[in-house]
Amino acid sequence: MGEQRVLDLLRHPPVIFVDREDERAAAVTAIRSARAVGNRAVLVFSGMSGVGKTALAVRVAQEFYAPESSEFEVVLMVGLGAAAHARSPEEVLQICLNALGVKQMPQTLEQMQARFRELTSRPTLLLLDDVENAEQVQQLLPGSATAVVVATSRRRTDGFAYYDYEVVPVEVFGPEYALELLTARMSPETIRAQDVSLRELVDRCGRLPYALNIARARLRTHYRGDAAAYVRALNSARSLLAEFTIEGEQRLVHLFNEAYLRLPPGAASLYQLLGVHPGLQFGAHVPEALAGPGRADAVAADLSVLVDWCLLAELPGGRFEIHSLTAEYTRALLADLHAADVHRALVRMVESYLEFAVSRELVLSDRVRFGPLFSGVLEPAYSGDEAYERAEVDLERERANLRRIVAVAAETRLHDLVWQLCEALITFYFQRDLFDDAIEVHSSGLVAAQWLAKAAPNDEPVPLLVMHNALGRAYFGKRRHAEALENFRRAGALAGRLRGANALFGLAQAATWESFVHQRLRDPEAALRALSAAAMFVADPDYPADQRERELRLIDMNGGPMLAAVGRIEEAIVAGRRAVEYFRDGKELHNRAKSVANLGRILAVAGEPYAEEAVELLTLAIDQEIECGLTSWAADSCEVLGELLIRLGRDALGRVWLARAAELDAQLNTDDDPPVEP
């Protein structure tokens, strides 16, 4: 073997190295496989800035290079630089040729490449840090047919695939490995004592290795190991990224600046505007709205650039995700834009979420709505057999964002958009038992409606009516009956100030929901009086004709158990069967499930002739309720079915259903927690 020429121009191997076993194994396997058949191996570690690509590349190189027993005679490592400081191929080759002992430097790029390939015709290991594209790698390939090139890149360009390079994605750490890096050289006792604060610090670092390394140093030197104090400082900081400093240098800001400065103008502009969005995941409608009308094609191209540069991750279903620290950086970039431009982008974003919610609400229900977008402006998002499920999936994916968007719109005093957005979420929240979400969101809607009523006291108080009804439903779902009843009665009073069909609809809704509260409070006589009043309003000739049949069947569906509770069994059965027949084949799957469940409840108390039909209907209803996410309804149906089976002498099976009811009740206590975004 000839004399080894070894050069590490960039850095020493990392002292602390965590995880990356899967990536290391994939890289080593790919390299050994290529060399086993006499081929050159070119491998690229690709990922966002600060994710640890360089440390991983060095560690992989160590698998093949040791001074006493190296497989290579030439080992070179060089960084290609970043943004405005990026090195040209000539500069990189000059550095390498100098390191290889060349005194008289060739004059042209072609001559440099020829001399470099001549000197690297021996077994060569080349590490290229921070390449932008495949052409850079091609221009620097060693002359050896079995050379190994390990590169790192902030891009996931298709050029790497074109040249058949092995690309290994490098992602942020999982929670446990991130904690391991943060707490390296910390005693087990200290880690256990500060576990909660350390994990919160991991989250504030976005599990990004570069940020974790900085945080580990600052935790030790600036906060004397007090993780809770460090977390408090980060949470109260005006600029989170500015807190990640080493020796006065804002390392994270510098890192993200490098990535931003590489972007073409269109992608850079969109990247800035993403700072308006309050969440980390979003659908394609968000960047389209932020960019403004008529830019859909340009936005699609700009999104591709941001994904290519690892500044966004593309998710299934046309969605995107931005890293938490990247999102912090884009928010800071908003300061470079005119405030009016940022406001207009925000309004467009809120409007896009309103259209998103309205088009899904049109799929879920045929109920009366008052928002202007419900008057034929938009079409339902989906049609066909799976429309309902698809609409629910969409809304569940955007659940956290929708809460945030309502809050942002409320803070910005977009009152008219706030109440409309809240109205568009009523069905989703109530049918999914998301009562905590509903109380939070509809409380903002009520404040917005109150502002609108003050601003235009002579207008009909429709937004106030809608929001009181919505809040009443949410409080009813949480069994906060006094607050529910107060909101329904306020809605009824407001309905009395309306004119014509709107007045009748509002009065009927308020009376119907008041009847539910009385039923819950085990006052069936008061419940029936309220429901009879609702039926009277619906039967009025001025009530909206296209809604009358549906509302009467809803009264049948909900009034049947009330009639049964006061012994009017035959009337209850007739009403229940009418409701089941009406909702059997419609798109309102939640009302189909409820109508079947309520008829089952009626028949469960109707005596022995109806017992088996009651068992059949309740069993069917439970499946439908669970499918629709009606957990509270399913729990009640399980309880009714269990008690009925015990009365019929089927004790063992009855206890199974009662246990299932208890499980579902317990689930209700956790399912309403707001979703946490990754």
Instruction: Convert 334-402 into a string of H (helix), E (strand) and C (coil).
Output: HHHCCHHHHHHHHHHHHHHHHHHHHHHHHHHCCCCCCCHHHCCCCCCCCCCCCHHHHHHHHHHHCHHHH
Answer for the pair 535, 555: CB distance below 8 angstroms, yes or no. Answer: yes
Domains 342-543 and 593-671 share a fold: yes
pLDDT in tens, 393-448: 999 999 999 999 999 999 999 999 999 999 999 999 988 889 999 999 999 999 99
* pLDDT tier, 9 (very low <50, low <70, confident <90, very high otherwise): very low
Answer for the pair 134, 15: CB distance below 8 angstroms, yes or no. Answer: no
Give the whole-angstrom CA distance, residue 90 versus residue 106. 10
Q: Stretch 144-148: mean pLDDT, rounded?
A: 91
Confidence (pLDDT) at 670: 58
CA-closest candidate to residue 426, choices 370, 345, 350: 370
* Choice among 285-294, 425-434, 491-500 with the minimum mean pLDDT: 491-500
Structure tokens at 345: 């982008």
Question: How does the average pLDDT of the chain come out, rounded?
Answer: 90
By CB atoms closer than 10 A (0-12, 13-18, 19+), residue 267 is buried
Residue 677 reports pLDDT greater than 70: no
* CATH class belonging to 593-671: mainly alpha
Give the whole-angstrom CA distance, residue 313 versus residue 304. 10
Give the whole-angstrom CA distance, residue 235 versus residue 80. 36
Q: Tell me what percent of the residues of the chain surpass a pLDDT of 70.
A: 95
Amino acid sitting at position 238? R
Residue 5 reports pLDDT greater than 60: no
Of how many residues is the chain composed? Answer: 678
* pLDDT tier, 196 (very low <50, low <70, confident <90, very high otherwise): very high
Give whole-number Cα distances, 415 to 142, 350, 663, in Å: 64, 11, 40
Is the domain spanning 263-337 CATH 2.60.120? The answer is: no
Give the whole-angstrom CA distance, residue 670 versus residue 678. 19
Residue 629 reports pLDDT greater than 90: no
Residue 577 reports pLDDT greater than 50: yes
**Number of C-beta neighbours around residue 670 at 10 A:** 7
CA-closest candidate to residue 642, choices 634, 632, 654, 660: 654
Confidence (pLDDT) at 10: 38
Confidence (pLDDT) at 69: 56
Helix H or strand E segment including 508: helix 500-520
**Through-space distance between the first and last CA atoms of the chain, rounded to whole angstroms:** 52
Q: Tell me what percent of the residues of the chain surpass a pLDDT of 90.
A: 72
pLDDT in tens, 89-145: 898 899 889 888 898 999 999 999 999 999 999 989 999 999 989 999 999 999 999
Give whole-number Cα distances, 134 to 140, 164, 611, 623, in Å: 10, 10, 73, 55
* pLDDT tier, 496 (very low <50, low <70, confident <90, very high otherwise): confident
pLDDT in tens, 242-281: 889 999 899 999 999 988 998 999 999 999 999 999 999 9
CA-closest candidate to residue 57, choices 78, 38, 84, 86: 78
Give the whole-angstrom CA distance, residue 125 versus residue 66. 12
- Strand duo 281-283 + 245-246: pairing: unpaired
Give the whole-angstrom CA distance, residue 282 versus residue 287. 9
Give the whole-angstrom CA distance, residue 39 versus residue 166. 13
pLDDT in tens, 17-69: 787 889 999 999 999 999 889 899 999 999 999 999 998 998 888 877 765 55
pLDDT in tens, 322-334: 999 999 999 999 9
pLDDT in tens, 523-562: 989 999 999 999 999 999 988 888 899 999 999 999 999 9
- Strand duo 41-46 + 166-169: pairing: parallel
pLDDT in tens, 276-288: 999 999 999 999 9
Helix H or strand E segment including 328: helix 324-333
In this structure, the dihedral spanned by the alpha carbons of residues 145, 148, 149 and 152, taken in order and rounded to 10 degrees, is: 160
Give the whole-angstrom CA distance, residue 422 versus residue 2. 75
Residue 666 reports pLDDT greater than 90: no
Q: Stretch 658-675: mean pLDDT, rounded?
A: 74
Structure tokens at 218: 């600052």
Confidence (pLDDT) at 342: 97
Give whole-number Cα distances, 353 to 399, 424, 490, in Å: 11, 10, 29
Q: Stretch 653-664: mean pLDDT, rounded?
A: 95
Q: H/E/C letters for each residue in 225-269?
A: CCHHHHHHHHHHCCCCHHHCEECCEEHHHHHHHHHHHCCCHHHHH
Structure tokens at 10: 């960039």
Give the whole-angstrom CA distance, residue 479 versus residue 424. 23
Answer for the pair 327, 280: CB distance below 8 angstroms, yes or no. Answer: yes
Confidence (pLDDT) at 674: 42
What's 609's DSSP letter?
Answer: G
Give whole-number Cα distances, 584 to 119, 553, 587, 595, in Å: 80, 12, 9, 9
Give the whole-angstrom CA distance, residue 296 versus residue 277. 18
Confidence (pLDDT) at 6: 46
Helices vs strands, H then E, count in the chain: 32, 11
Q: What's the chain's Rg over C-alpha atoms?
A: 32
Residue 2 reports pLDDT greater than 70: no
Confidence (pLDDT) at 678: 39
Domain coordinates in residue numbering, the chain: 5-169, 175-253, 263-337, 342-543, 593-671
Q: Largest Cα–Cα distance of the chain, in whole Å? A: 107
Give the whole-angstrom CA distance, residue 217 versus residue 225. 10
CA-closest candidate to residue 266, choices 294, 300, 289, 293: 300
**Number of C-beta neighbours around residue 108 at 10 A:** 9
CATH architecture of 342-543: Alpha Horseshoe (1.25)
CATH architecture of 5-169: 3-Layer(aba) Sandwich (3.40)
Answer for the pair 415, 452: CB distance below 8 angstroms, yes or no. Answer: yes
**Number of C-beta neighbours around residue 124 at 10 A:** 24
